[in-house]
Structures are given as structure tokens and as C-alpha cells.
Amino acid sequence: MLKPEEAQSRADALISQAKKAGADAADAIYVCDASTQVQIRLGNLEDVERSEGEEIGLRVFAGKRSATVSSSNMDTDILSDLVGRAMDMAREAPEDDYAGLAPEELISKSDLQPIDGEDHANPEPAILREMALEAEDAARAVSGVTNSEGGGASAGRSIVALATSHGFSGAYSTSGYGVSASVIAGEGDGMERDYAYHSTRHFEDLDSPKEIGQKAGNRAVSRLGPVEFKSGAMPVVFDPRVSSSLLGHFVGAIAGSSIARKTSFLQDALETQVFDSAINIIDCPHRKRGLRSKAFDGEGLPTAKTKLIDNGRLTQWIMESASARQLGLQPTGHASRGVGGAPGVSVTNLHMSNGSVSRDDLIKDIGNGVLITELIGQGVNPVTGDYSRGAGGFLITDGQIGAPVSEITIAGNLKDMFASLVPADDLVYRHAINAPTLRTDSMTVAGG
């Protein structure tokens, strides 16, 4: 596997070839991944997989026309042919007034922010096997667990390098580790499954496999014996396992491309109150060991901490250069891309800040409601904000979490849900997108 500086040289070389071939502008991205995954089921080794791959993508511009090509073969002659093919394609492409590299005056020119994303631990497959086995054993040891879908452990490393024809060149490397377990509780028609997992950048930050397994087993057992209940309008509480999904819908609604196409339910919400005034939503690209930390975006712009929601108010869209030009604005350092196609947008380490009440206090006045721990399906209309998804979780009765419920449907509108959200104070930075327990009183629930 290449070193970051070697990957950077490879992207720089492809840019040089594109300029010699007559490109008015160009950018190149190199991505290399290597990973080892071990899967255990019922105490037996089920699969060991090792994968390594590298790809490079080139985007060239001929005036207002552009084309993108990619290759997984790094042979010099093949890459030279790739450049020629890209130029031929660009000359025949339709003109696009908004396509182009990021503004030159905005690209990163100083030292890149360190993100501490790699630890070089590189555990051997035998260690991963023991971790997967320990996770599954712990899950299967929970009383009530009757079968297993397996325990797993993984380790990997990635390198990303980006170069542009107007002066940006940078690279970074990250490591990644994971442990998981998924088990089944109960018998016959009463069986229920659940899981637990943890992913980190540094090996030493992983939860113990035993803890992961016990959590998976306890979750599966807690779902046994789901009850029926009366449908209607009632408070809905989103557990941190699923509350971050609401932030995902929010991010999609403020993407510059959605705003430019007028396909967002938050189309007219800029600088208005979208959430309660107690809520802040922050993107932190430089968090040490963050799962999506990065010093530069997919166009070579510097990344920076951004408060997207400031005391409930929407402060900005997230934009790559094309949508920013279409909207008459500047890109925000949120461009994201792979080796094929033009950049899109994404956030990095996003979170909703803690509220001021405990989880117990958040639910203590709920006479009849539901705690959601699982969401199913993708029933969200990004244009209107209408929201309807399958779900599972637990009844809340007289302020106490009670019997499990499954195959229910929760429905509302994201505008109303956002405006009524109340966060608890139990935020944990565990995933790339994190939120505390959230309550909304603007939904209807249909029983299974």
C-alpha cells in the first residue's frame, strides 16, 4: 500500500498529463483501501476476507465542457490512454455553465489540519478472530438468546489523495476497526433479532467485544413478546440508536443541489427558525479520531467547524462549487466525491448538542407514547417533508418504558417534527452523525 505522499505524487502526475493533453482545468482523486474481515457463527470460523484495491479518477475541462474517467489499473500507458479518452469525451460533452473547479482563491494553501485518523495498529487475523468469537460468545450467553447470525471483527486502512490543476495537492490516511454481533432470541413465531456494533479510527478506542456481545444479546431478548396497542397521536421518543437519522434528513434538505433544483422542504428556510431555540447542530471536520474527520474537502477547500443550526436558526446551505455557482454563493467546504462523477456534498462529524434534561425527565410526563429503537424503510418525501416509516421499540406508559412493540408505523412531517424536537442530555460521540435522545409530540403512531 502506498504512503500518502506517494499517493499524492500519483494524483499530481495525472494532472500534469491532463494539462499537457490540452485540458483547460483538471482534478484527480486517488483512493486506496485495504481491509481484513473475520466472521464467526455459532463458534465456528465462517469467513475470512482480505481485500485491497486502488482507483484513480480524473475530471478534465475543455471550456465549459467536462468529462470524468477512472481506472483501477495504475500502469503508466493505461493512465496515458485514460487522459486522452477523457479529453475526447470532454470535447463532445454538453456545456455546463456551473461546472468547474473550486475558486482558486479558496483552495487550501497552508499546512493541513491534523486529524489523528491513523494508528498503524494492524491487528493480525488471529486477533480479529478472537474478538469476533468473544463478541458472539457474550451475546449467546445472554439468557433467552437461541440462535446467532454471527460475530465479526474488521481492520482496515485507507488513503485519499487529491490534486487540482490550479494549485491544490493533498493526501491523508485513516485506519478503521469494527466489532459486531447479531443474535436471535425466542422460538418459532416469537423470535426477535437485534445487534450491536462499534467502529473507531484507533484500535484502542474500540469497546470490548464482550460488551458489544452482551449489548446485542440483551437487546434481542428485550424485544420478546411485543404487544398491541391503540393507534393515535402521541409523543414519540427517538433513542440515540436512531435519532441521528433525523439529522440525515436535515442534511439532505440543506444540500445545495436540492436547493438549486428546488426539491427541498427547507427551500425557503434559510435564516429562519427551523428547530427550537435550544437546539444547535454542528459539523466538526477536525475532531481527533473522528470517523469522518478530514482536513480538506473533495474539491481541495479547507474544512472548518460549522454551526449549521444556531439556537434553532438555519445559518447556511452546504454546497460544492457547482451548486454554489447556481445559487450565486460560495462553496462551503463540504464537497464529497469518489473517483467517478462530479462532486456532491456531505457533512463530516455532525452532532446535535445536548439538551438540558435527562432522558428520564424527558419522558416522565408521557402518559402514553413510544420509544423508537429501530426504523425500517425509507418513507420520506424530500420535497414536502412528509415522513412515514416502519418502526419498533417500546411503549411508554405513565413515564416508564414498558413492553416492546414491533411492526408499527410512525408518521408526521419533518418541518413539524424539527420544530417540536426536545433533546435529552445523553449525547455520546459514537458514530459519524450523533444525536441525543429526542422527543417530538407531533406524530401519529399506528400499531402493528
For residue 1, pLDDT beyond 80? no
Give the pLDDT band (50/70/90) at residue 420.
very high
User: 262 and 201 in one domain?
Assistant: no
Out of 221, 239, 258, a domain closes at 221
Instruction: Clarify whether residues 45 and 172 are in a common domain.
Output: yes
**Lowest mean pLDDT segment, chosen from 44-48, 339-343, 434-438:** 339-343
Q: Are residues 55 and 138 in the same domain?
A: yes
pLDDT in tens, 362-407: 999 999 999 999 999 888 999 999 999 999 999 999 999 999 999 9
To 10 degrees, the CA torsion angle through 322, 326, 327, 329? Answer: 50
The 3-state secondary structure of the chain reads CCCHHHHHHHHHHHHHHHHHCCCCEEEEEEEEEEEEEEEEECCEEEEEEEEEEEEEEEEEEECCEEEEEEECCCCHHHHHHHHHHHHHHHHHCCCCCCCCCCCHHHCCCCCCCCCCCCCCCCCCHHHHHHHHHHHHHHHHCCCCEEEEEEEEEEEEEEEEEEEECCCCEEEEEEEEEEEEEEEEECCHHHCEEEEEEEEECCHHHCCCHHHHHHHHHHHHHHCCCCCCCCCEEEEEEECHHHHHHHHHHHHHHCEHHHHHHCCCCCCCCCCCECCCCCCCEEECCCCCCCCCCCCECCCCCECCCEEEEECCEECCCECCHHHHHHHCCCCCCCEECCCCCCCEECCCCEEECCCCECHHHHHCCCCEEEEEEEEECCCECCCCCEEEEEEEEEEEECCEEEEEEEEEEEEEEHHHHHHHCEEECCCCCCCCEECCCEEEEEEEEECC
Residues 255-273: tens digit of each pLDDT: 999 999 999 999 999 999 9
- Mean pLDDT, the chain, rounded, equals 96
Average pLDDT over residues 160-166: 96
Report the residue count for the chain: 448
**Are both 248 and 202 inside the same structural domain?**
no
Radius of gyration of the chain (CA): 24
Count the Cβ atoms, other than its own, within 10 Å of residue 280.
18
Q: Does residue 110 carry a pLDDT above 80?
A: no
Domain count, the chain: 2
351 shares a domain with 235: yes
Do 35 and 158 fall into the same domain?
Answer: yes
Residue whose grid cell is 456534498 = 345
Q: What is the pLDDT of residues 54-73, one digit of tens each?
A: 999 999 999 999 999 999 99
Domain boundary among the residues 178, 198, 221 is at 221
Share of the chain above pLDDT 70, in %: 100
Q: Choose between 2 and 41: higher pLDDT.
A: 41
Q: Let me know whether 230 and 147 are in one domain.
A: no
Distance CA 438, CA 435 (A): 8
Residues 55 and 148 in one domain: yes
What pLDDT was estimated at residue 448? 63
What pLDDT is attached to residue 341? 86
**211 and 262 inside one domain:** no
Which residue segment(s) compose the domain that 198 sits in? 4-221
Q: Which residues of 301-317 are buried (b: 16+ CB within 10 A; e: fewer)?
A: bbbeebebbbebbbebb
* CATH code: domain of residue 25: 3.30.2290.10
Using CB atoms within 10 Å of the CB of residue 99, give its burial: 0 to 12 exposed, 13 to 18 middle, 19+ buried.
middle
Residue type at position 233: A
Which of 170, 193, 221 finishes a domain?
A: 221
Please report the pLDDT score of residue 378 as a whole number: 85
User: Which residue has better confidence, 142 or 342?
Assistant: 142
Q: 314 or 4: which carries more pLDDT confidence?
A: 314
Other CB atoms within 10 Å distance of the CB of residue 90? 23
Residues 350 and 298 in one domain: yes
189 and 50 in one domain? yes
- pTM (2 d.p.): 0.95
CB 208 within 8 A of CB 167: no
Q: Are residues 115 and 243 in the same domain?
A: no
**pLDDT per position as a tens digit, 218-266:** 999 999 999 998 899 999 999 999 999 999 999 999 999 999 999 999 9
Position 112 scores a pLDDT of: 82
Compute the Cα dihedral for 4, 8, 14, 18 and give only its sign: positive
